[in-house]
Structure 1
């Protein structure tokens, strides 16, 4: 496989993971099936870990399995596994580091893409129940004004944290 094809597969895999993560986040994590683990992420927990971290373990097993299959003569599958892994690293840096500040260093988010991403995810956490959240993506965020309007339509102040500033 040439490097251009490999790069294309890697890029499509990372972008595809954002779409896959959005679907899993909205319909499994916020659904009946996955809320038991994900709820820990919407309430304050003590300690460095929460039940929601089990999703990371599950996804890492999927990536590891794809690496094993890919190493048996399937380079496309190996590149897909690398795309999943790159997405996981980006998720860890952006979601766990920037948004939730689970890392020991604080990174200021200037105006622009990263600030919008942090704001959108905080609006997602303004809702502490399975239903009614906004912004299910991890690396893409809609316009903040649209998300606030959507949240305002579906929730009263008692349903959500003020201004979506929950970490």
Structure 2
């Protein structure tokens, strides 16, 4: 039984941990020294791909690296068995991210505007993330766990009043 339960728990824990990794990466890398890759994601364009999509390649490399570390074919006796399940969790998070962020929020793959529930909250939270102009300030750096939009609007208003962020007029802050 533990041969099934432990790997499933590792995969699920990795998916949850990846939301924190994504939040921290988004806030401190993408809106920091990695802004050069992320900027076009915050600007209007008609391109199918964005430089920002290079971050998906980084995520894929993390997953592939974990699969390699867990593979006896690659690592021999030095293989670390949990790495395979961590790699699967990173892959799972990447799929969730692609469907939620690129698909639902930015509608790159399908058109559906949720009218209620958590899906609507995710869309609202990420739209509020895009309410700032430039890399400074901002709210809602995560991708799957979304805070209450009313609290995010209040935070944007505070940032605008403090001169931390330039907020678009249509943001409601």
Q: Distance in 1 between matches of 2:99 and 2:168?
A: 25
Note the 1:43-54 alignment, pairs <5 A. Answer: 43-54=43-54
Comparing both chains, which one has the higher relative contact order based on Cα–Cα distances under 8 Å and sequence gaps of 6 or more? 1
Aligned length: 162
Structure 2 counterpart of 1:159: 166
Q: Gapped runs of 5+ residues in structure 2? A: 73-78
Q: CA RMSD in A?
A: 1.7
More helix as a share of residues: 2
4+ aligned runs moved over 6 Å, structure 1: none
**1:97-148 C-alpha deviation (Å, 9 max, x unpaired):** 0000111x21231311111011000000001211111000000111111000
1:57-101 superposed Cα distances (whole Å, 9 cap, x missing partner): 111111111111112243210000000000000000000000001
Show the 5 A alignment for 1:92-107: 92-103=98-109, 105-107=110-112
Q: Does 1:8 align with 2:9?
A: yes
Q: TM-score, normalised by structure 2?
A: 0.88
Which ranges of structure 1 fall in alignment gaps of 5 or more residues?
none
Aligned twin of 2:83:
77
**Which protein is bigger by CA-based radius of gyration?**
2
